[in-house]
Structure 1
Amino acid sequence: MNYRKIANTLSWVLHPFLLPVYLMAVLLTMTTFAHYSTQMKFYLMWVVALYAIVIPFLVLGVLHSLGRISSFKVDNRRERWLPLAVGIVCYILCAITFAKIPSAIFLRKFMVAAACCEAMCLVVSLWWKISLHLTGMGAVVALLVVMNIVGVGNMLIPLMVAILAAGALASARLYLGCHNGAQVLAGFCGGFVVAMLAVLFL
């Protein structure tokens, strides 16, 4: 088997850009948010895709063309601060958009948590390389745990899937040599703790 190809596929399928869209899809189909109209669901998915994927990807393209980043993977720690800063702004703008929908307070908290995780990664990346992939997965697991506790839906199966996916992704990042064990563990734990605190207190 081509383990490198599998590891690369996992890294792209579970890319931090895509995780908010996956989680939003779960929220809009398996929780109380499933009662939203189809039009509202498409609107919310589009807003998340715009701020989590489209704008950050376009910014990466511009930064790459200007020579500010050497690769779309942004593996160089010193090149991460600008993409992460853009990510923080995008998630804050997304949270502001959701704030206009009174019933979507948890969705706003979800975006604020994402912005806080990006901010944590930005600060850490000034001195040390942390796994952005595992930070995202840690945040997803934390949000699913919170949803199970507050009872917005039965998130046990998605939570189990997320934990298994986090383990597979950690193995993939280690196999590819993108990170060491400490960077992977710090990413997951950091994302989990920051997202949990942000949802509970912000």
Structure 2
Amino acid sequence: MMKLPLTTLSKTLSVVLHPFVLPLYVMLVLLFAGTVYTRYPTGTKLYLLWVVALYTLVIPLLMMAVLRSLGRLSNFSATERRERLLPLAIGTVCYLLCALNLSKVPSAGLLGRFMVAAACCEAFALWITFHWRISLHLTAMGAVVAFFVLMNVAGAGGMMPLLVASVLAAGVLASARLQLGSHNGAQILAGFAAGFLISSAVVLLL
């Protein structure tokens, strides 16, 4: 009797915490939740939000719609491993373009590095997809957790609650993906570990 509610909840969580929307959540939290970035002028905040929304959500969704209309995708979830290749390549380029536009705000260098890290995660996922199926949801969530860990280590104010929230969200999302049968434990763990390690390395080394 509980199968349908759990399945519905898991599907909802997979959409709400989709890789396309996670960067926008991060930007909204940084700009409006009492962090150092809340000091930006309104115009700068709107520019940053528009850039992130355009390159990590709007363009990827449009490209997915085009690929679907051309018969290159059976569904928007890209459940088939071979169907993920082109969307991942597009995502890599979009993240790099996002980082390039964020670099126009001199004090937003860390945010730009985060987008470069996200591009590297996409590139890694593209490479591994040729050989194995990894959880893209948990790869993205691993990158988000890494970002908040690094912000806390750097001493940025107000980040600990965000780190705790991101870790809890990662656990809930992992459970949802397992409930749906979208991935096994190894694919979920590998995705989170890859996202966390790649993002940490890129942000620290750039």
TM-score, structure 2 normalization: 0.96
Is 1:156 matched up with 2:160?
yes
Equivalent residue for 2:86?
82
Equivalent residue for 1:20?
23
1:33 Cα shift? Answer: 1.1
Equivalent residue for 1:108?
112
Q: Give the secondary-structure state (helix, strand or coil) at the position aligned to 1:72.
A: coil
Equivalent residue for 2:196?
192
* Matched letter for residue 175 of structure 1: Q
Distance 1:199 1:56 in 2: 23
Distance 2:38 2:72 in 1: 42
2:169 to 117, 141, 165: 165
Q: Give the secondary-structure state (helix, strand or coil) at the position aligned to 2:171.
A: helix
1:110 Cα shift? Answer: 1.1
- Structure 1: segments with no counterpart, 5+ residues: none
Instruction: Output one character per residue of 1:73-129: Cα deviation in whole Å (capped at 9) or x when no partner.
Output: 011111111000000100100111111221111111011011011011101111100
Equivalent residue for 1:3?
6
TM-score, structure 1 normalization: 0.98
The percentage of counterpart residues that share the same residue type is: 58
Instruction: Output one character per residue of 1:56-84: Cα deviation in whole Å (capped at 9) or x when no partner.
Output: 00000000011111110011111111000
Instruction: Output one character per residue of 1:147-179: Cα deviation in whole Å (capped at 9) or x when no partner.
Output: 001122221111111111111100100110100
Aligned residues: 202
Distance 2:193 2:158 in 1: 23
Runs of 4+ in 1 over 4 A off after TM superposition: none
Q: Give the secondary-structure state (helix, strand or coil) at the position aligned to 1:100.
A: coil
1:29-178 aligned within 5 A? 29=32, 30-178=34-182
